[in-house]
Amino acid sequence: MIAVISDIHGNLEALDAVLDDASRQGATDLVCLGDVVGYGADPNRCLELVHAKARFLVLGNHDVAALDLSAAENFNDVARTAIQWTNQELTSANLQVLRDLDFERVEGEVRYVHASPDEPPSWHYILTEQEAWNAFGACDEAVCFVGHSHVPLRVFLRKGRLVVLEETVVEVGPEDRALLNVGSVGQPRDGDWRASYGLWDPEARRLIARRVEYDLESAARKIREAGLPEVLARRLAIGQ
């Protein structure tokens, strides 16, 4: 089973809890869809841990902005403040890890990408039906794993129609295609504060969407102690 994680955003407490849960659930493989850094207080330790444990990781928009602050021009003030802090904080070894990443990875029938597979460097969200069609149109694989929105989402293309599945355990049938957003480890935005990730069983073509409690108080305290914007500490508790 493959643990698919995304949008850790420097939240070490959430990452630790997710890695523990994944190994308890029997995951033997780990892949990361990017945005390991930005917002949270532990960018170095998160990147070191993910780089050591994940078979591969792909680039997120915050990872790019941590390397090149000009890419943060369209960020809001809080995100830009956090990524400037992150840029100063990251070790040169970790900056090099980010520099070596690609936008996406394809393995057999599965694609892994941070935002929409439709123009990965443009970081399109998949929030509307049109955006879902664009995403399906931009790749040939049966399954595409994405992150970026921090909101878990399972959209299937079934008999020519888009279907959003609410179940937390979904199976991709032989004729189906699926866009699977695994949500965010370190800063969920669907109103549920618990860390989000996915467990993918490639034989059964089954995804289990997991939520995991973590030490929220420590993560929030470290954000305050680092002098990062207060809102970044507060939003963790409300999952927004």
Residue among 16 and 35 whose Cβ is closer to Zn ion: 35
DSSP annotation of 62 reads H
Look at residue 94 and give its three-state secondary structure: helix
Beta-carbon contacts of residue 18 (< 8 Å; ≥ 6 apart): 3, 5, 185, 195, 197, 210, 212, 214
Give 35's DSSP letter.
Answer: -
Q: Under the criterion CB under 5 A, does residue 7 sit at the interface with Zn ion? A: yes
Stretch that binds Zn ion, among 4-12, 92-100, 201-209, 214-222 (CB under 5 A): 4-12
Sheet containing 29-32: order of strands: 56-57, 29-32, 2-5, 195-201, 206-212, 169-171
63 counts as binding Zn ion under rule CB under 5 A: no
CB of 137 to Zn ion, least distance (A): 24
Q: Which residue has the tokens 């956090």?
A: 82
Residue least distant from Zn ion (Cβ): 35
Shortest Å distance, C-beta 211 to Zn ion: 17
Per-residue mark of binding to Zn ion, 19-38 (x: CB under 5 A): ----------------x---
Residue 106 CB, shortest distance to Zn ion, in Å, is 22
Piece of the chain touching Zn ion by CB under 5 A; list 1-9, 13-21, 104-112, 188-196: 1-9
In degrees rounded to 5, what are phi and psi of residue 35? 55, 55
Least distance between Zn ion and beta carbon 113 (Å): 13
Q: Which residue has the tokens 């403040």?
A: 81
Total number of residues binding Zn ion (CB under 5 A)?
Answer: 2
- DSSP conformational letter for 114: S
Minimum CB separation of residue 201 from Zn ion in Å reads 25
Q: How far apart are CA 209 and CA 188, in angstroms?
A: 13
Interface region with Zn ion, contact rule CB under 5 A, candidates 7-15, 120-128, 192-200, 228-236? 7-15
* C-beta neighbour count of 69 within 10 angstroms: 14
User: Under the rule (CB under 5 A), what is the footprint of Zn ion?
Assistant: 7, 35
